[in-house]
A and B are shown apart, each in its own frame.
Chain A
Amino acid sequence: MNINRREFLKIAGVSTMLGLGGVSAVNSLRNRVEASQISPNPEALTAKRWAMVVDMSKFKTEEDYQRCIDACHRVHNVPHITDNPKHEIKWLWKETYEHAFIGNEDEYLSEEIKELPFLILCNHCDNPPCVRVCPTKATFKRESDGIVMMDMHRCIGCRFCMAACPYGARSFNYKDPRPFINEAKENLEFPTRTKGVVEKCTLCYERLAKGLKPACVEASKGSLIFGDLEDPNSEVRKILSSRYSFRRRPELGTRPSVYYIF
């Protein structure tokens, strides 16, 4: 057979493409698990849009705050990074007024307010910029209840979401977190994360599925109020209609779901 190099390469290339295409076509036709075999948990808590109200008047002692933070970080195996503050990972933490609500700095603000430690977490915005920028939809807004979720298996660690979040709510695993998790206090029912992915508060979606309130809400003993913003009879709506509330940087159009009251 008289064939030159160019012809040979053309034939080889086309055969490879056909071969690969055929294999993937056959694979996709294989029996899949039927979608009818899936159903939601019967005891799950549901809502159209989850929201939280942080009632600063109910927090009295340092211990009140730390209880909530410890509950969250323990239930989710959040590592406590000790060797480099730059690699810190936090889902729920405290911040002073002028740093949490930037743009409101005022030297004549009352000392009491200046020193009040506001609890900060992901705001689970209704219009989240982090979801808008994620190139793989690893972070996405759950259609059922508005929680801004993290799919740890899909995250490629590009950290675009960290640049996009105007609230500094996200942390990145700059190294393996496992050495920094206290083994004695590990929650064996929840995974850890691995190096190279972004993490943040996910509103305890796994607890909501079992009919439980978020860990921080339960530990707060009433200082954190949790409910459905779109249910006019929910506790959060009742509070918001009777008290003055404010959110972090609302002018950015993100429509955060975490409200603060004094």
Chain B
Amino acid sequence: MYNGGKIIIGLIIFVGLVTYPLWNNMGKATVKPDPKIDTPEILKLPEIDRKCIESKAYMKKEHMKLLNEWRDWVVRDGNGVYVSAEGKRYTMSLQNTCMKCHSNKKKFCDECHNYAAVTPYCWDCHIAPKEKET
């Protein structure tokens, strides 16, 4: 083919760049994320009440979308109360509802976010709960 030499070299460089994340991380141990839900606030609740606003599977999949929708409902529509699938009522607020139970951002939120290498910018504005010594 025309310019065959340049094309082959270019292809090799391209494949090398695209697969960089794979061969750069080879051999490095990666620990599966283990978000901890044993905060003092959660432990204070009786065992039957230690439930998030929705199921764990739902929250894992949808918490990003849920937070976005909460924000629009609170800030733009002026509605502040969320009724969960179970019929319980919660105030829609990251700082004042979610983080009241999950007061350990480093051992909860950051666990999965660091593993997945995402940096949500919530904490640029929303004040994260103060980390405790434990």
Our verdict on whether A and B bind, yes or no, reads yes
Q: Which residues of B contact A32 (CB under 8 A)?
A: 65, 69
Q: Which residues of A contact B79 (CB under 8 A)?
A: 38-41
Q: Kindly report which residue of chain A lies nearest to residue B66, judged by CB atoms.
A: A33
Of B66, B91, B124, the contact of A41 (CB 8 Å cutoff): B91
Question: By the criterion CB–CB under 8 Å, are B125 and A191 in contact?
Answer: yes
Binds A, one of B19-27, B34-42, B70-78, B105-113: B70-78
- State the Cβ distance, B75 to closest chain A Cβ, in Å: 5
Question: By the criterion CB–CB under 8 Å, are A37 and B84 in contact?
Answer: yes
Interface class of chain A by DSSP:
loop
Question: By the criterion CB–CB under 8 Å, are A140 and B126 in contact?
Answer: no
Check: B127 CB closer than 8 A to any chain A CB: yes
Bound-state Cα–Cα, A189 to B91, Å: 13
Bound-state Cα–Cα, A224 to B29, Å: 62
Check: A194 CB closer than 8 A to any chain B CB: yes
Question: By the criterion CB–CB under 8 Å, are A153 and B80 in contact?
Answer: no
- State the Cβ distance, A146 to closest chain B Cβ, in Å: 11
Contact indicator per residue, chain A 6-40, by CB within 8 Å of chain B (1) or not (0): 00000000000000000000000000110011111
Of A37, A38, A189, the contact of B96 (CB 8 Å cutoff): A189
Report B's interface with A, CB cutoff 8 A.
62, 65-66, 69, 71, 73, 75-85, 91, 95-96, 121, 124-127, 129
The 6 closest A-B pairs by CB, nearest first: A194-B124, A41-B80, A191-B125, A191-B126, A37-B83, A38-B79
Report A's interface with B, CB cutoff 8 A.
32-33, 36-42, 44, 77, 140, 142, 144-145, 149, 151-153, 186, 188-194, 205, 209
